[in-house]
Amino acid sequence: MKKVILIKRVLAILVVFGLVFSLAACKRKTAQQPQQSSQNKNIEEKITLTFTHMFTNDGSAISTGFYNALNEYKKTHPNVTIKQEALSHDTYETKIKTLAAGGELPDVFVIKGSMVDPFYNNGQIAPLNDALDKDMMWKNSFVSGAFDDFKRGDKILGIPIQVQPTSLIFYNKQIFKEAGINEFPKNWNEFKDAVKKLRAKGYIPITAGNKGKWLVESCILSTLGDRFTGTDWFVSIRDRKGAKFTDPEFVNALRAIDELVKMKAFNSDINSLDNNQQRTLYYNKKAAMFFEGGWAISLVTNEAPKDVLEATELAIIPPVPGGKGKPNTVSGGAGWAFQINANLEGSKKTAALELLKALSSDAYSRPMLEKGGFPATKVTNYDESKLSTLAKKYQQLAKNIKYVPVYDVQLSPGVIEVMNSGLQDMIIGTLTPEKLAQKIQQEYEREGK
């Protein structure tokens, strides 16, 4: 009898173990199935992403980083076909607004800070918080303040392309010396004296290409305005806390540009050239200086004749008499960011998000930094010996620089359109600084109703 009971107990134990192993096997199978399915999906499913951007493979720092990362992405995602359209900066900005207005945004694109509100309010872009929170290593890889231009409350509405100044002065120190100017002007009055001396020597003091309307506003006025008004004024404007474009400080900033025009500080065809053409006058030593952002450092390094490159120095707009702004600030920030179409779903959305991650990876940021660019992520493993001489000069200058807002990144497209078009009119003498200030204020008030 005892033997029978023992056999029954052994059989019971075997049954229990059998059930446990069976359940465990089922669990492993259940856990593995979705993963295998997902992997197979990623490998086998053919995905096509449309991608419109403004990186024209021109050898600039940002272009180098962009195409390096894009090629890496293509290698690791052989099932994804990217139909890309690369446009010049000016053409891109017009086209992306047109596509948005027609509800035909591509799958992946770049977006300016000022485009965030209309695109988001129209449901064309969505917050990227979930994607970033799922990969904290990715989220924490960005430099401090990188998301500022693309945050609305706690919502992150873009992956920043870079963080850089939009207002630097590139000048030829040999031409300055020829005109009797041995060091860069320390204040605005000295700057105007330098303009007169350069003009007297037969040089164009400042070459400028404002055909795309943005250059004078983004590369000159955003910093010069801050010199006169101080940053608190801009914050009050942005947040609608009482400041006006007709305030004397802002009008004085417009007058300062108008005065430069009347002094013939700029080339006469300023509204007919773009920013690429403006540099040609500088390279040919017909002009002594030009205003552009940090992106031009790598362009000048690659494009300028050797003697011009060796003579090129960097500076920022000097302080103005009685100005409320700090003297060590320049307009800057992220400005532009990568985004995806809010209508994307499933594996196509996953592929698009992975592309955004690739475009902020080390493959993107390191080569950009080594060519003198300004990645939005922290880069520690770069080869400092690869930095150009001009990039090293900027590194020295940047030690004391603090960023202030760029007008066309943080103000509405409507206000910026009136401002930029009005600056063109003021430059050709059909609009006074006072009238321009009134027009901007009228648009600002109209939008605020």
Percentage of residues in the chain with pLDDT exceeding 90? 73
- The one-letter code for the residue type at 238 is R
Strands 287-292 and 204-207: parallel
**What predicted TM-score, i.e. pTM, was given to this entire model?**
0.74
Helices (H) and strands (E) in the chain, counts: 21, 14
Which distant-in-sequence residues (6+ apart) come within 8 Å of 288 by Cβ?
171, 172, 175, 176, 179, 198, 203, 204, 205, 206, 282
Helical pair 296-303 and 61-76, crossing angle rounded to 10 deg: 100
Q: Please name every residue paired with 83 in a beta bridge, in sequence order, or none if there are none.
A: 50
- Quote the pLDDT of residue 13: 44
Return mean pLDDT, the chain: 89
- Quote the pLDDT of residue 399: 82
E strand map for 281-390: 287-292, 312-315, 329-333, 336-340
Smallest CA-to-CA distance from 312 within 170, 178, 197, 198 is with: 170
Tokens 């027609």 locate to 102
Q: Which tens digits make up the pLDDT trace of 127-147? A: 999 999 999 999 999 987 789
Residue 54, pLDDT > 70, answer: yes
E strand map for 311-359: 312-315, 329-333, 336-340
Sheet of 402-404, strand order: 164-165, 329-333, 402-404
- Binned at pLDDT 50, 70 and 90, residue 226 comes out as very high
Q: Which tens digits make up the pLDDT trace of 277-322? A: 999 999 999 999 999 999 899 889 989 999 999 999 999 999 999 9
- Quote the pLDDT of residue 239: 87
Smallest CA-to-CA distance from 207 within 143, 292, 139 is with: 292
- Quote the pLDDT of residue 19: 38
Check residue 216 and report its DSSP letter. I
CA gap 310, 290 in Å, rounded: 16
Which of 19-28, 68-77, 274-283, 345-354 is predicted least confidently? 19-28
Q: Which tens digits make up the pLDDT trace of 238-272? A: 989 999 999 999 999 999 999 999 999 999 999 99
- Binned at pLDDT 50, 70 and 90, residue 449 comes out as confident
Smallest CA-to-CA distance from 72 within 363, 350, 366 is with: 363
CA-to-CA dists, residue 308 to 58, 171, 173, 419, angstroms: 20, 9, 9, 34
Smallest CA-to-CA distance from 295 within 112, 150, 163, 440 is with: 163
- The one-letter code for the residue type at 34 is P
- Quote the pLDDT of residue 153: 85
Which distant-in-sequence residues (6+ apart) come within 8 Å of 100 by Cβ?
115, 118, 119, 122, 124
Q: Which tens digits make up the pLDDT trace of 68-77? A: 999 999 999 9
- How far is the first Cα of the chain from the last one, in angstroms, to the nearest whole number? 96
Helix, strand, or coil here: 289? strand
Which of 18-22, 111-115, 376-380, 419-423 is predicted least confidently? 18-22
- Binned at pLDDT 50, 70 and 90, residue 104 comes out as very high
- Quote the pLDDT of residue 44: 65
Q: Which tens digits make up the pLDDT trace of 174-218? A: 999 999 999 999 999 999 999 999 999 999 999 999 999 999 999
- Quote the pLDDT of residue 59: 81
- Quote the pLDDT of residue 372: 82
- The one-letter code for the residue type at 122 is N
